[in-house]
Amino acid sequence: MTNAESIDRLANRFFTAVEEMDGRTLDEIYTADAVIWHNYDNFEQPRADNLAMLAQFSTMFKSFKYTDVRRRFFDHGFVQQHVARGVKANRKPFDLFACMVVTVSGDQIARIEEYFDSAQDPR
C-alpha cells in the first residue's frame, strides 16, 4: 500500500466518523496533541475541545454530509476541498464550501487547518 492510499483510508475514516458523529473513532484518529486551527477565528483548538464540539453535532444538525470532495496528497497529509451540506437543528439548510489542510503522523491526524468563509453559515 502506498502512503497516499494509507492517508486516503485515514481521511475516509475521519470524514465518515464526523458524518456519523462517531466520537470513539474520532478519539482514536487524533494524536494526543492534535490541534485544529480555523481561519475564521485564527484559534488553535486543542484536541479535547474539538472532540467536545464534535460530540455536540447531534444536537446542532439534523443532517450533515461532506459532498463534492476533492482530495490531494502530500508526504505527511492531504488537502481536501469539499462542501459540507445538511440541515441545522433549527431546520435551516446549509452549504458550506471549505478546504482543510490535514497533517498526518503515522496513522493519526496531528493537525487540521480549516478554511471557510463564516458568512456562508446560516444562523
Domains of the chain are 3-120 (3.10.450.50)
pLDDT in tens, 38-68: 999 999 999 999 999 999 998 999 999 999 9
User: What is the pLDDT averaged over residues 1-20?
Assistant: 92
Predicted confidence band of residue 19 (pLDDT cuts 50, 70, 90): very high
Using a 10 angstrom Cβ sphere, with 0-12 exposed, 13-18 middle and 19 or more buried, the burial of residue 14 is buried
Helices first, then strands: H and E counts in the chain:
4, 6
d(CA 106, CA 16): 19
Nearest-CA neighbor of 114 among 34, 38, 29, 49? 38
Q: CA torsion angle for 54, 95, 14, 39 (degrees, to 10)? A: -70
d(CA 23, CA 44): 20
